[in-house]
Every structure is written in C-alpha cells, then in structure tokens.
Chains A and B, each alone.
Chain A
C-alpha cells in the first residue's frame, strides 16, 4: 500500500520569508499524481498544487512551487514571500491506480508577523 510521510508536524516562518515543507512517499507504481492541500481553520480543503509523476518539470503556482524528486520519492513544497494567510495545516497527498487519495499526517504552518 502507498504511504505518505510528512516528517515536520509543525513549522514556522516569518512573514515575507520562504519556507519548505517536506513530504516523502512510498509506491511501486510509475503513474501517479501528487498534491499539496491547505486546510485553514475553516477546515475547507484547498488544493495548492499538483504534480504528475510523468512530468519532470516541477509544478509552480504563483508563490508555491514543488521540488519533485521521483527517484528519491520526495515531494517538497516551497512557499515564497510567506503571508499571514498562508497559516494553515498542509497535507501532502498521493493518488495512483487505486484512485484513492492517501494523505500524510500534515504540517501545521505558523506565519509570524
């Protein structure tokens, strides 16, 4: 079974600075998707960024970018120019052939003014 590991239960960053959240996964599949979701205090799940495994180019969405290392099974999220509104729980997630989304345990991000 696929597993997703987020080794940082909590992270903090100063406003306007850059922070990187780590994620590793374990799979034997070659075709899959990886995601980062944000869950603010409202608890609404918000998609931050997506990466297809067959694409070598790292995905980017404005201030959010990933470092996808397929061989190492690593999928980190970099948030640049951090804003107060970025404070939330961040979940790394995987979906493959089973079509079931598997989540990591999450990283709580605090943004300090």
Chain B
C-alpha cells in the first residue's frame, strides 16, 4: 500500500527556536495534505489543509504565522513551528490524499511527530 513518511518522529527543542516537520508521499502524488494536532488522550484536530502550489488553508484559531505550511511539490509538505513555546508541545500528524480521489484507499497517514518544547 501507499506510504506517507513523516520526519522526524520525535523532536525536542528549546523555547524560541523553530522546528520543521516533513511529510512525504513516497509512491503517489498528493495534491492535498492535511496537518493535524493531537493532545494526549484527545482526538485529532485539523490545523490546516495544504495544497500543492498554493497557500495553505488554516482552520479557525490556528495561527498562520506560528505554523508555517509549505507544499512545494506533489510529494512534500512541511510544517514549521516558529518560535516554539512549551504550549506548542504536541503530537502532529499529516495525511496525504492521492490525486485520484477521495476514498479510503486514497488517504494515508504519516506516523506522526512528537514535539516537546523545553
């Protein structure tokens, strides 16, 4: 089956620094990728929708300048947490949708990134 690779799986950074998380579709093209945030023992909350070649669409309440999303190619989207603070500590998950359409076979999740900000 299709694979979405997410890096890094775990990162610790100092408060005030920036962290970049990568989401790659390894064997298919993804025009659309989604970024989610998950707090401990909670559900996934959609942060933004990333479309190749255009600006990301952010959900209400998500700071665009804090969470920079770039989708420069059909196989790569990145999420940069800028000037990270302890409250940004969370589990971040990406998912990618194949260009062919919207079915279960065409949406794939990365393995997630645990961000801890000291």
Give A residues with C-beta under 8 Å from B.
33, 35, 42-45, 47, 50, 91, 95, 99-106
Known: A45-B93, A105-B42. 12 other contacts (CB 8 A): A33-B104, A43-B38, A44-B112, A45-B44, A99-B97, A100-B49, A102-B46, A103-B43, A103-B44, A104-B43, A106-B42, A106-B43
Find the A residue at minimum CB distance from B44: A103
Q: Using Cβ atoms and an 8 Å threshold, which residues of chain B touch A106?
A: 42-43
Number of interface residues of B (CB under 8 A): 19
Distance in Å from the Cβ of B113 to the closest Cβ of chain A?
10
Are A35 and B104 interface neighbours, CB within 8 A?
Answer: yes
> Could you list some 22 contacts between A and B, CB below 8 A?
A33-B103, A35-B104, A43-B38, A44-B109, A44-B111, A44-B112, A45-B44, A47-B107, A50-B103, A95-B102, A99-B32, A99-B49, A99-B97, A100-B34, A101-B34, A101-B46, A101-B107, A102-B46, A103-B44, A105-B42, A106-B42, A106-B43
Distance in Å from the Cβ of A88 to the closest Cβ of chain B?
13
Are B111 and A43 interface neighbours, CB within 8 A?
Answer: yes
Interface SS of chain B: strand
Are B111 and A101 interface neighbours, CB within 8 A?
Answer: no
> What 9 A-B pairs are tightest by C-beta distance, nearest first?
A45-B109, A50-B104, A103-B43, A105-B43, A103-B44, A43-B112, A44-B111, A47-B104, A106-B43
Are A33 and B93 interface neighbours, CB within 8 A?
Answer: no
Q: Using Cβ atoms and an 8 Å threshold, which residues of chain B touch A50?
A: 103-104
Are B102 and A99 interface neighbours, CB within 8 A?
Answer: yes
- Confirm or deny: B91 has a beta carbon within 8 angstroms of a beta carbon on chain A: yes
Distance in Å from the Cβ of A78 to the closest Cβ of chain B?
18
Q: Using Cβ atoms and an 8 Å threshold, which residues of chain B touch A47?
A: 104, 107
Q: Using Cβ atoms and an 8 Å threshold, which residues of chain B touch A104?
A: 43
Report Cα–Cα, A42/B110, bound state, in Å: 12
- Confirm or deny: B95 has a beta carbon within 8 angstroms of a beta carbon on chain A: yes
**B19-46 CB contact bits vs A (8 Å, 1 = yes)?**
0000000000000101000100011101
Q: Using Cβ atoms and an 8 Å threshold, which residues of chain A touch B104?
A: 33, 35, 47, 50
